[in-house]
Structure 1
Amino acid sequence: MAGEEMENLILVTSDGYSGIAEYEVMLIKDTKSLNKFYSQVNKTRKPGLPVPMLDFSKEMAIVVCLGEQKGERTPQLSQLSETEEERTIAIELSDSEKTESYISYPFYVYKLPISSKTINFQKVGW
């Protein structure tokens, strides 16, 4: 990994189809925004995926949408740097066996203790 392991970062859920074609990272700090993301994900699903329950008074969510992927690669988040005002998080993709030919649009939802710091995301090794 490019940075330090983040002990308080927990993967809440993930799925192989987000419906989002391009790479995107979202920092979500309220239930309304999380519900809005899931309404996008669930547009073509019946029944839809359940929205994870998070306590936004204590935690926030990081949603990583990888966009179009061939094969199976998972993001690995690590902390590159931290100051009193901001925190930089690296997003790397694990290497995969490129034998799979299927295309997916995966997303990952992580939770992290709430912070007033500005959080920046940086792609590493893509």
Structure 2
Amino acid sequence: MEKGDALNDSAERLTLVLQDNYSGSNSEETLIIKDSKSLKKFFIQVNKTRKPGLPVPEVDFTKEMVLIHCSGEQPLGRQITLAVADENEHELIVWSLIEKKKGKTSSSVIVSPFRVYKMPLTAKKITFQKEH
């Protein structure tokens, strides 16, 4: 599958719900969340330094699951986006793609961005790969 095809096709599977520059995570990690307790736990951690806190997205965990990608510490303007690259009957391969904002070259401001995605519930193994 070509990268362009994967990105177009993944729009149906991965829906961006929320993004913000401060996850509180120093290192890159991707969380697969299949229950409301785990989702609330993530938002409790994120909201420790916020007033008001970010609302927890509403998710029907009988039909959907959540992927949260924390990029770790990054220069402001650099984002990591998730996209479904390929799928077979046993596995779903998700790419993390580096997305640079136009007009920003480099910044001395360091942030720890995260993105929250919803997708249809699956029992397939989810494998994460960095963009080639």
Q: Fold conserved (TM > 0.5)?
A: yes
Aligned to 2:80: 75
Rounded Cα–Cα distance in structure 1 between residues aligned with 2:129 and 2:48: 29
Rounded Cα–Cα distance in structure 1 between residues aligned with 2:83 and 2:18: 18
Contact 2:14 2:83 in 1 (8 A): no
The structure whose residues are more often helix, as a share, is 2
Paired residue secondary structure (2:52): coil
User: Is residue 20 from structure 1 mapped to residue 47 from structure 2 by the alignment?
Assistant: no
Q: How does 1:104-119 map to 2 (within 5 A)?
A: 104-119=111-126
Paired residue secondary structure (1:94): strand
Tell me which amino acid in the other structure corresponds to 1:71.
Answer: L
Paired residue secondary structure (1:46): coil
Q: How does 1:4-83 map to 2 (within 5 A)?
A: 4-5=6-7, 6=10, 7-83=12-88
Paired residue secondary structure (2:67): strand
Contact 2:13 2:84 in 1 (8 A): no
Identity %: 46
Rounded Cα–Cα distance in structure 1 between residues aligned with 2:17 and 2:125: 22
Paired residue secondary structure (2:78): coil
Paired residue secondary structure (1:74): strand
In the TM superposition, what is the alpha-carbon distance from 1:12 to its structure 2 partner?
0.3
In the TM superposition, what is the alpha-carbon distance from 1:8 to its structure 2 partner?
2.4
Deviation string 1:65-123 (CA, Å, 9 cap, x unpaired) is 00101121222222222111111110011124224321111110000011111111112
Contact 2:18 2:115 in 1 (8 A): yes
Unmatched 5+ residue regions in structure 1?
A: none
Q: TM-score, normalised by structure 1?
A: 0.90
Unmatched 5+ residue regions in structure 2?
A: none
Question: What is the aligned-residue RMSD (CA, Å)?
Answer: 1.6
Corresponding residue pairs, total: 125
Q: TM-score, normalised by structure 2?
A: 0.86
Deviation string 1:29-64 (CA, Å, 9 cap, x unpaired) is 110000011111011222221111111111100000
